[in-house]
Amino acid sequence: MAIPLCLAWFRGLAVRTVSTLPLRKHGSLLPARRWYITTATRNNLHFKLDEMTAHSSLDLFKKDTGVIYRILGLHASRVQHNQERFREWAVVFGDEEITSGRHYWEVTVKKSQEFRLGVAEALMSRDDCVGSNSSSWVFGYVQRKWFAMTTNKMVPVPLVGKAERVGILLDYEAGVLGLVDIQKPQVIHTIKAKFRGPLCPAFALWDGELLTHSGLEEPQGLK
């Protein structure tokens, strides 16, 4: 069974650990990621999920635009050793780094009761979970409720029930991350932040699957 995130934080319980090369200590930099060209045109960010960052319990599918949670995961011997991979939490990053602009993407959620969607600093520690530190900003769904999460704080989001598909709106210069109800469409809740460096789309998943939809135009009327 998947471990509820809210309990995992307090009990220090994480999903299965994969042996990797030593990661950076807090405050120091990871070795340079492989070279990215930032597609930071307004409202037209294209990305796939980065297998190099994916925890061993996560499998990518549909040309690396979707991710599914496997409770047993892969044996450590079958996972490539690298310093970019999350080794304790079921997290995966998008493969594009964002340094400016206003961007919009959507996520379809299937058969999942615990997940997180948002952004994180590209050099965030691979020992942490997104939403648990000051380097990540996400919207999480757990125990049938939505929350805005950063620095391990949970702020309730007034969204009734679980939407199968939601939007994420990022305005880098304004320091805003928004959760979008695509049916209306409107921004349901925003997280205010001061972004300090390159960001990546970020996802965490403890059951079911997620499918990402990038390269989309921002719906008209969003603020």
Residue 98 lies in a domain: yes
Mean pLDDT confidence for 86-90: 92
Name the helix (H) or strand (E) containing 202. Answer: strand 199-205
Overall number of domains in the chain: 1
pLDDT at 18 over 90: no
- Which amino acid is it at 63? K
The predicted pLDDT at position 160 comes to 62
Q: In whole angstroms, what is the distance from residue 147 CA to residue 131 CA?
A: 10
| pTM of the predicted structure, to 2 decimals | 0.80
Residue 35 lies in a domain: no
> In whole numbers, what is the pLDDT of the chain averaged over residues?
82
The predicted pLDDT at position 72 comes to 63
Give the CB-side neighbour count of residue 190, counting CA atoms within 13 A. Answer: 14
**What's the CATH number where 142 sits?**
2.60.120.920
pLDDT at 26 over 50: no
Domain assignment of residue 146, given as a range: 46-213
Sheet with 115-121, edge to edge strand ranges: 91-93, 199-205, 115-121, 136-142, 145-150, 153-157
Taken in order 138, 165, 215, 177, the sign of the CA dihedral is negative
| 138-150: pLDDT as tens digits | 999 998 899 999 9
Residue 3 lies in a domain: no
Residue corresponding to tokens 């599914």: 68
